[in-house]
Chain A
């Protein structure tokens, strides 16, 4: 079974703090994607990482793909209330079909003003 485990499941912090969300697996992924989902909406893609060790930045968000392509992290600097939402990681398993995403259960993030 190819699972993506996200941690923490829930995080509530004050505006201005930094945080890191993790996405881990024992399997290798061809690519890994991070999505943010707000209530009543579908997930919105934030970034796709493909290369082991890759780091991508999106304003205050920094995404890293592990060297072995089994894990990823999302770091938010100086969190803002607008960052509140459900953060989901999803990956394309290396040896399986090239279309079906394996999803983590998500990290529910609340940023308090």
Chain B
């Protein structure tokens, strides 16, 4: 498709499990962002890629969170040893040459 896609759409994990969330950006988009969104709140910035380079990871809440974009296209957000406070919707957005960011539908993560 022409938009940003994310998978899985829903993920339930037991506390302590590792999870991997995938983002397929719009083809040709250089910028890629990951956000965390709590229910009824605005997105919170996690990390930013320009092509394969991770230029900003200041929003990652702990060293259990890791993101990569090895070939400058698909990106994976990995959360190790998940905790209940990690439960949220994880949004991916990609962008071209302007400020505009195009969002995927998100992955809703529930940690039990």
Interface residues of A (CB under 8 A from B): 30-31, 33, 35, 40-45, 48, 86, 88, 90, 92, 97-101, 103-106, 108
Contact = CB atoms under 8 A, between A and B. Distances in A.
Contacts of B93: 42
A97 B108 CA distance: 29
B105 A33 contact: no
Interface of B: 4, 31, 33, 40-45, 48, 50, 56, 91, 93, 95, 98-106, 108
Given A42-B91, A42-B106, A99-B48, A88 B99 contact: no
A43 B40 CA distance: 12
A60 B43 CA distance: 26
A41 B106 contact: yes
Given A43-B103, A99-B99, 12 more contacts: A30-B99, A35-B103, A40-B105, A41-B105, A42-B104, A43-B43, A45-B101, A88-B42, A99-B56, A103-B43, A106-B41, A106-B42
